[in-house]
Amino acid sequence: MAENTTLTVAVLSGKGGVGKSNLALNISFALSRKGAKVLLMDCDLGLANLDVLLGLTPTGNIQDILDSNLKAETVLVRVDQGLDLLPASSGVVESFNDQHLMPALLAEKLDKLVGRYDYVIMDVGAGISPTVLNFAAMAMMRVLVVTPEPTSLTDSYALVKVLATRQGIRDHLVVVNQAESAKQEEMTYKRLAAACSHFLNITPVHLGGVHNDSNLSEAVRVQRPMLLEYPNSRATKDFYALGDKISKLRQNMLPRIAGLSPLHLPGSSAKN
């Protein structure tokens, strides 16, 4: 079997509305604009957003792949040079009841497809539902998005705790979104890290931050990615910086991920 070079990254948050989808979208653009092959996967089943943020109307989605014999390639949408979107559906209650079978089915159906990309960026829904926990466990890397709001901090802590107890996951990269200053970003990270370290003996790594930037709301309004609509804006620079950091991490991880499947099966013995 060829050596794996795909890095799968799950973008997570305890609380909704903290900026996950915009982060997943703009990091994907940042990586693809630097020459990488990227698959952006909408894993917020039932409440998909990425198609809306891009002003697209996809004809098929990830649920169709799970529910039928449809090939994954047929629902892919080319978004940019080197960047494809695997959409999810919105307003459809999750039909997949057998949650413990979902990861294996998804891995089987997507294995070949994801292997063609350098990165698979998974925009996972908020909260601690079985679907969220499964997607989080299937990725090789987890990016936890947190804002300075106390509720975001407590919900992030809850997610870290549940991922540790239910899936044995103890590695997290933290992105602080919407901080007003470097000091506030650092404080936010430290509060979360202190709680995780004290109560769970887990130390999440501070990956970086995205400034609060009013242009981002405007980009959402016009359904264009921030990175293209406001190429010189503050948050755009932050997205590029985060992309660079993830790219360096991938380079360092290549020997370690060579023998792994891009989509890990939760509960299997291979360690990511």
Ligand X SMILES: Nc1ncnc2c1ncn2[C@@H]1O[C@H](COP(=O)(O)OP(=O)(O)O)[C@@H](O)[C@H]1O
Q: How many residues bind Mg ion (CB under 5 A)?
A: 3
If the CB atoms of residues 21 and 272 are measured against ligand X, the closer one turns out to be 21
Q: Which does 220 bind (CB under 5 to 8 A by kind): Mg ion, ligand X, none?
A: ligand X
Regarding 196 and contact with ligand X (CB under 6 A), the answer is: no
Among 89, 177, 188, 272, binds ligand X (CB under 6 A): 177
Task: Name the region of 89 (left: φ>0; alpha: ψ -120 to 50; beta: rest).
Answer: beta
What is the distance, to the nearest Å, from the Cα of residue 90 to the centroid of all Cα atoms in its chain?
18
Residues numbered 199 to 258 that lie near ligand X (CB under 6 A) are: 210, 212-213, 216-217, 220, 235
Q: Which residue, 20 or 172, is less far from Mg ion as judged by CB?
A: 20
20 interacts with ligand X by CB under 6 A: yes
Q: Whole-number minimum distance, CB 25 to ligand X, in Å? A: 8
Q: In angstroms, what is the minimal distance from the CB of 68 to ligand X?
A: 27
**CA dihedral of residues 48, 51, 57, 60 (deg, nearest 10):** -60
HSE-CB at 148 with a 13 A cutoff on CA atoms is 14
Is residue 49 a contact point for Mg ion (CB under 5 A)? yes
- Verify binding: residue 19, ligand X, rule CB under 6 A: yes
21 touches Mg ion (CB under 5 A): yes
User: Taking the complex as a whole, how short is the minimal distance between the CB of residue 216 and ligand X, in angstroms?
Assistant: 4
Q: Please state, as a whole number, how many other Cβ atoms lie within 10 Å of the Cβ of residue 59.
A: 10
Q: Are strands 173-179 and 205-211 parallel, antiparallel or unpaired?
A: parallel
**Helical H runs in the chain?**
20-33, 50-53, 62-67, 102-114, 130-138, 150-167, 182-200, 214-221, 226-229, 234-257
> Looking at residue 101, what DSSP letter applies?
G
Closer residue to Mg ion, CB minimum distance, 238 or 257:
238
Task: Please select the residue that binds ligand X; options are 49, 61, 89, 233, rule is CB under 6 A.
Answer: 49
172 HSE (CA, 13 A, CB side): 32
Residue 131 makes contact with ligand X by CB under 6 A? no
Neighbours of 135 (CB within 10 A): 28
* Residue 187 CB neighbours (<10 A): 14
Between 38 and 260, CB nearer to ligand X: 38
Q: Is 126 or 193 the residue whose CB approaches Mg ion more closely?
A: 126
Q: Which two tokens stand for residue 205?
A: 């790594």
Instruction: Answer yes or no whether residue 17 interacts with ligand X by CB under 6 A.
Output: yes
Q: Which of 6, 8, 21, 272 binds ligand X (CB under 6 A)?
A: 21
**From the list Mg ion, ligand X, none, partner contacted by residue 19 (C-beta under 5 to 8 A by kind):** ligand X
C-alpha 248/C-alpha 239 separation (Å) is 14
**Residue numbers at the binding site for ligand X (CB under 6 A):** 13, 16-22, 49, 177-178, 210, 212-213, 216-217, 220, 235
**Residue numbers at the binding site for Mg ion (CB under 5 A):** 20-21, 49
